[in-house]
Structure 1
Amino acid sequence: MSDKMRNIRAMLDKIVEDQTKFRFLTLPTPTSQDSKKKWRETFIGDRDEIEVIGREREKKDILTKVLQKNGEKESFIIPVVGLGGMGKTTLAKAVYTDKETNMFDVKAWVHVSMDFQLNKIVSAIISQVEGSTPANDVDLQYLKSQLDRILHGKIYLIVLDDLWEEERSKLEDLMNMLQSGMKDC
């Protein structure tokens, strides 16, 4: 048994030595739900195109649907559903960052999670498009007028990431607010 322990200790010493030798960085991993949420919220969509391995067909299918609907006067939703860890967010990011979506006048990526608050979602859209965040104490009617001004007559793509809302009326309220433009997703 002591030989086995010595071998394990020697392997661990080698790992520590290699870590120093190759200058590996130890990064903190999110442990709480709040820190995981913050990590997910940091995605900013104006990045290089994201490559997805093994999901090319799904990406192409979603892109085709998004681009086919271009120019229609009605908002629509393309749901990407599945179990946690299946790559839904990565797939949506791959579509969002694809060069073909650069034809949209406005693009926004909003992390929603379980806390579906219409004013926060609309504020996040405005913040991404305008570059400034509306004050927290503004009412929903003001936010709606700002959203109307920003989206009116434009073609836009809006991704709602990690949406859990099952109450159809709340989602319909958001869809109604987005009708000013010609497209959202």
Structure 2
Amino acid sequence: MSGDDASGQGAGGRLIRIDLDEQSTARRSPEVERERAVAIFDLLEENEFRPAIEHVGPYHLGLSIEENRLVFDIKDPTDAPLYKFILSLSPFRRIVKEYFDICESYYQAIKSASPSQIEAIDMGRRGLHNEGSEILRERLVGKVEVDFNTARRLFTLICALHVKM
């Protein structure tokens, strides 16, 4: 047996389940809820996730916020704990706030703005999303290796957790 899953990727070095601590989140708008659901779906379809531990994967990931810190709780497929670490949310505060502000502008624009205005706002939104993803990748160095697309989707989930803050 090759260990490949339906996406053609090997089962090791990837996430197969993601749990967001619903107690860490506040009530979300339908747009934020949709982005969260799409991020989880896309993340499970394709990701690169390699924690700095002696375990080849696959992994379950729990994300939560505890005492204003982001908690990564990595487990094996049987939910046995493997690796848990905490990141300060301080480096994310500005970018998350700006990202939410521009997302709100985007959601308003799609109701009444011209296509060129919507495109300009969306370019800014994507730029902030990319910046947040790069900050996340930098913060994960030495803890978890992720590719850019995985970092983008994880940043979306971090934003969903941040809504409460």
Common fold, TM-score beyond 0.5? no
Higher RCO (CA-CA < 8 Å; seq separation 6+): 2
TM normalised by structure 2 equals 0.22
TM normalised by structure 1 equals 0.20
Higher strand share: 2
Q: Which has the larger radius of gyration?
A: 1
